[in-house]
């Protein structure tokens, strides 16, 4: 294996191990030694890639949030209109509760750390504001194309979408057996989108 490939593999191992350690032990409980042991690498390798545990945490947080951009862009590109694209994006929430449910705890770790760490807060809130602006732009586009009612406030609707997604994930974390949260998420988003739909006059 080439040096660059080996370096990329080590970095990926550290990120995967960190996700598991943070999910199990929280930010404070997960030590660099724990992460290195799970990743099967030395502390020297850790510090070659990340100067601190916080730097690793922030990269993990950014990768998670930035990954949504690609999925949202793909959904918009493949959909005939904005409303259909938003319905496709709603399916991503369902996926979090079904295919990716083992990764849900890391969301709570991100939010808890953001509440007390200014750098984590800046990264987190920056991405959420980005998504809110992105959804607002999509809804405005939907209004222009005629799939969304012209009376809809794009900014308010975007806030509702983001708040709904965050709230559903929190419910799923706090009461995992309380409902089929994937189905609840899908139905909740469908109800919200139905309110945005332009009615035939």
Q: Which of 28, 51, 74 is the last residue of a domain?
A: 51
Crossing angle for the helix pair 104-116 and 3-29, nearest 10 degrees?
70
Task: Write the DSSP symbol of residue 51.
Answer: S
Give the distance between the most distant pair of CA atoms in the chain: 67
Residue 201 lies in a domain: no
Same domain, 69 and 104: yes
- How many structural domains is the chain composed of? 2
pLDDT at site 193 = 86
For residue 166, the domain's CATH number is 1.10.357.10
Q: What is the per-residue burial (b if ≥16 Cβ within 10 Å, else e) of 154-175?
A: beebbebbbebbeebbebbeee
Same domain, 15 and 75: no
pLDDT at site 6 = 82
pLDDT at site 113 = 87
Give 130-137 contacts, CB < 8 A, sequence gap 24+.
131/68, 131/72, 131/162, 132/158, 132/159, 132/162, 133/158, 134/69, 134/72, 134/158, 135/86, 135/161, 135/162
pLDDT in tens, 178-190: 888 878 887 888 8
pLDDT in tens, 24-40: 888 899 999 999 999 99
Give the structural domain span for 23.
Answer: 1-51
pLDDT in tens, 148-201: 999 999 999 999 988 888 888 888 888 888 888 878 887 888 888 888 887 765
Same domain, 137 and 149: yes
Same domain, 19 and 65: no
pLDDT at site 181 = 81
Same domain, 158 and 140: yes
User: What does the mean pLDDT of the chain come to?
Assistant: 85
Instruction: Reply yes or no on whether the pLDDT at 71 is more than 90.
Output: no
């Amino acid at each position: 294996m080439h040096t660059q490939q080996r370096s990329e593999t080590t970095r990926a191992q550290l990120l995967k191990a960190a996700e598991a350690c943070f999910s199990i032990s929280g930010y404070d409980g997960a030590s660099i030694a724990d992460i290195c042991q799970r990743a099967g690498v030395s502390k020297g390798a850790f510090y070659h890639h990340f100067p601190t545990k916080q730097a690793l945490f922030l990269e993990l947080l950014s990768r998670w949030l930035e990954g949504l951009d690609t999925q949202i862009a793909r959904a918009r590109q493949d959909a005939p209109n904005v409303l259909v694209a938003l319905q496709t994006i709603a399916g991503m929430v369902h996926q979090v509760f079904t295919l990716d449910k083992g990764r849900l705890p890391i969301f709570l770790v991100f939010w808890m750390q953001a509440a007390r760490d200014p750098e984590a807060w800046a990264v987190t809130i920056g991405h959420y504001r980005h998504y809110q602006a992105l959804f607002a732009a999509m809804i405005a586009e939907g209004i222009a194309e005629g799939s969304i009612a012209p009376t809809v406030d794009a900014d308010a609707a975007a806030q509702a979408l983001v708040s709904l997604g965050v709230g559903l994930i929190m419910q799923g974390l706090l009461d995992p057996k309380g409902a089929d949260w994937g189905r609840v998420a899908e139905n909740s988003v469908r109800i919200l989108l139905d309110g945005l739909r332009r009615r035939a006059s």
